[in-house]
Amino acid sequence: MSDSRMLHLVLTSAITLALMGAAGAQTETSDEEILRSVGMSTEGDALLQFVRNQIQVASNTDQIKEMIRKLGDDSFQTREQATNELIALGRVALPHLQAALKDSDLEIVRRAEKCIEKIQQGVSLTPSVIRLLGKKKPVGTAKALLSYLPYAEDAATADEIRTALVQVAVNQGKAEPLLVEALSDEHPVVRASAAEVLCRAKVVSQREKIKELLKDPVPDVRLRTALALARLKEKSIVPVLIELLGQLPPEKAWQAEDLLVQLAGDDAPHVALGRDEAGRKKCRDAWADWWRQHEGKFDPARLAETRKLLGYTLLVMLDQGRVFEVDQKNKVRWSFNGVQFPLDVQYLRNGHILLAEMNADRVTERDQTGKTIWSRSVPGPLMAQRLPSGNTFIANRVQLLEVDKTGKEIWTLTPPNGETVMRAKKLRTGEIALITADQNRNTQNFVLLDSKGKVIRRFPMTVDTSGGRIDVLPNGNVIVPQMNQNRIVEYNRQGKIVWEASVNGPIVATRLPNGNTLVTCMHENRAVEIDRQGKEVWEYKGDTRINRALRR
């Protein structure tokens, strides 16, 4: 297939799928039907050729940079052609377009923004192609997928590649030599992915070669390898994870911290990840002390247990004042009543539940029978969050505060510019994320504050209901339910919508570790889980309003 024909196919695909929009995303369209809808063959050779063409385009950085330079050309026709060509390239062009946002030429910046917006509105064909390759396994698939990893559009696509590699590059516990050789590939993402695939497939014979990557010069490779080796109960990963706490930025270090917290349980140090070098060092040192105390009695089997997703879902019935948990088959595991208008809920490490009970003017910690273990009076709490330090962060409409284990106030803060709080969350970095509104709720904004209350970033957005938290992803993106518009949207750090899905009357949305989104639709009395295409993959239907749902 010629480059021009491939460019035409990608452009046609992007336009077709963009026109499908959110409504199309909710249909039960198979991967094969998605590709056929844009005139693409689903035969193995065609799928491989698609991946090879993507590699060829993505690796030709000079060509992409030249297209971006033409965005500022004196000729309108040249600028338009370059814009359309970049949009046609799809997500492989995104890193270059993001870099172009810093260009001194305002026309290049404006058109780069347009390209990014159009690309992110479309639906990528690549995940469908990769999943089909994993099923059909034409000769050459493993090599093509490994070669494509450095150019994967995003983290979700890279994970689709790793999943497909488990299917095609490992057979009855034995790995293709190509996959083992990839452990020493020049590209860090390939090395780390090879380690992860081998660990997912539990190829124990390659354990020692995988462990060599725990000393890789690239911190991200050490992180991914350590997390992967947890599946093989490899005890030596613990000090590696602890050391990475002081080396990685918070948006990546949280993965190491999360696994350590699961391992430590109630013995976890009460220290949060820091944004600066001093904070990261303090966190690392606290965990190093923990390991010195617990290494001798540590059971490596706990590593495998931490990687299991239980699949239990915590649900809150607003009108009944009922809190309960269901298993994967929606069977109730435990339940209690007597909660007064709960607007926020959190699982705690000790198995207890933290609740913001608005009508009772209190925050409570309860066990799974409903017995109150701890309580703090607060007028009309909208949310309550137990922090790694053991303190509790609380917000109501006019105040943010943090209290210690005894309920003593540590600090308090009022929202900026006289605005009222609609939702809030304290991040692992110590920063505070808010959704605020003016007195009449005519204007709403996402606001990010530093630990001292100084505004770091703000942009306008819309949320129609108050109470609970705002889901801020590790990359800084924000997941927002828009009840009156019947949709879930994901904003990037600049306030641009980068993803959306149609859901009837959503009031809470939380991104799950598998990339899906857990949503409560209060007026429909149900909670649903949707995938990246907006397809519902799980539902719990109640007989009264469900206002909160959490998965563990």
In the predicted model, what is the mean pLDDT of the chain? 88
Q: What is the largest CA-CA distance in the chain?
A: 72
Residue 21: per-residue pLDDT: 37
Give percent above pLDDT 70 in the chain: 92
Residue 31 near residue 110 (C-beta atoms within 8 A): no
The Cβ of residue 62 has, within 10 Å, a number of other Cβ atoms equal to 8
Residue 10, pLDDT above cutoff 70: no
What kind and span of H or E run contains 535?
A: none
Mean pLDDT of 253-266: 82
19-35, pLDDT tens digit by residue? 333 333 333 347 888 88
- 18 pLDDT band (50/70/90 cuts)? very low
Convert 431-457 to b/e letters by CB count within 10 Å (16 or more is b). Answer: bbbbbbbeeeeeebbbbbbebeeeeee
Residue 441: per-residue pLDDT: 67
- 254 pLDDT band (50/70/90 cuts)? confident
- 309 pLDDT band (50/70/90 cuts)? low
- 329 pLDDT band (50/70/90 cuts)? confident
Closest CA to 91 of 152, 164, 136, 179: 152
Residue 20: per-residue pLDDT: 38
Q: Which residue has the higher pLDDT, 288 or 327?
A: 288
CA-to-CA distance for 383 and 363, rounded, in angstroms? 8
Three-class SS state of 176: coil
The Cβ of residue 131 has, within 10 Å, a number of other Cβ atoms equal to 18
431-466, pLDDT tens digit by residue? 899 999 987 667 899 999 988 889 999 999 999 899
- 14 pLDDT band (50/70/90 cuts)? very low
The Cβ of residue 508 has, within 10 Å, a number of other Cβ atoms equal to 29
Integer CA distances (angstroms), 273 to 178, 259, 282, 414, in order: 38, 13, 8, 24
Residue 159: per-residue pLDDT: 87
Residue 388, pLDDT above cutoff 90: no
Residue 419: per-residue pLDDT: 92
CA-to-CA distance for 390 and 180, rounded, in angstroms? 44
125-167, pLDDT tens digit by residue? 888 899 999 999 999 999 999 999 998 877 778 889 999 999 9
Pairing of β 432-437 and β 444-449: antiparallel
Residue 59: per-residue pLDDT: 87
Closest CA to 173 of 138, 137, 142, 200: 200
164-198, pLDDT tens digit by residue? 999 999 998 899 999 999 999 999 999 999 999 99
Residue 307: per-residue pLDDT: 56
Residue 7, pLDDT above cutoff 60: no
- 53 pLDDT band (50/70/90 cuts)? confident
Q: Supply the pTM of this predicted model.
A: 0.67
Mean pLDDT of 69-88: 93
How is residue 30 written in tokens? 């198979």
Q: Which stretches of 483-545 are assigned E, i.e. beta strand?
A: 487-491, 497-502, 506-511, 517-521, 526-530, 536-541
Is 355 exposed, middle or buried (CB count within 10 Å of its CB: 0-12, 13-18, 19+)? buried
Residue 409: per-residue pLDDT: 96
Residue 436: per-residue pLDDT: 95
Three-class SS state of 364: strand
483-503, pLDDT tens digit by residue? 999 999 999 888 988 889 999
Domains of the chain: 3-122 (no CATH), 233-308 (no CATH), 313-551 (2.120.10.30)
Residue 188 near residue 196 (C-beta atoms within 8 A): no
